[in-house]
């Protein structure tokens, strides 16, 4: 079967438009709401303790997967601090592997975050 140039351009245009339509694939009954990490608040320098350890998490109903977690959960906590307060984060690594932790959203000098010569 041969196409004329006009038929080829029409088919190409239709294919291009069809490819641009966003498709959404849903697994029936498999959607779970995203978990909301627990809130930890620090006031006036009160230390916050975080334990890195192995845990299990159910990403889909009826299955559990081994994960690394903070304080026994898959996601680490949401940490709320107040402007002007000192914050002390105390990490305890109960994993067999070395771990490097970062904190997003704080203005922290490089040497205090483990960076050398920054």
Beta bridge partners of 50: 91
Q: Which domain holds residue 73?
A: 52-88
Q: Strand, coil or helix: what is 78?
A: strand
Structural domain contains residue 2 = no
Contact 54, 70 (CB under 8 A): no
Q: Strand, coil or helix: what is 13?
A: helix
pLDDT value at 27 more than 60: no
Structural domain contains residue 72 = yes
Whose tokens are 């809130």? That residue is: 39
Structural domain contains residue 59 = yes
pLDDT at residue 28, rounded to an integer: 53
Report the C-alpha gap between 12 and 6 in whole angstroms: 10
Structural domain contains residue 27 = no
How many domains is the chain built from? 1
Structural domain contains residue 58 = yes
Structural domain contains residue 84 = yes
pLDDT at residue 82, rounded to an integer: 83
Q: Is 24 exposed, middle or buried (0-12, 13-18, 19+ CB in 10 A)?
A: exposed
Structural domain contains residue 30 = no
């Amino acid at each position: 079967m041969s196409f004329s140039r006009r038929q080829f351009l029409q088919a190409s245009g239709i294919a291009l438009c069809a490819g641009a339509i966003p498709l959404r694939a849903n697994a029936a009954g498999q959607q779970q709401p995203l978990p909301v990490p627990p809130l930890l608040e620090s006031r006036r320098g009160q230390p916050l303790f975080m334990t890195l350890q192995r845990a299990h998490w159910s990403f889909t109903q009826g299955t559990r997967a081994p994960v690394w977690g903070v304080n026994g959960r898959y996601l680490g906590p949401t940490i709320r601090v107040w402007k002007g307060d000192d914050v002390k984060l105390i990490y305890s690594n109960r994993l067999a592997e070395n771990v490097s932790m970062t904190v997003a959203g704080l203005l922290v000098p490089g040497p205090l975050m483990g960076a050398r010569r920054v």
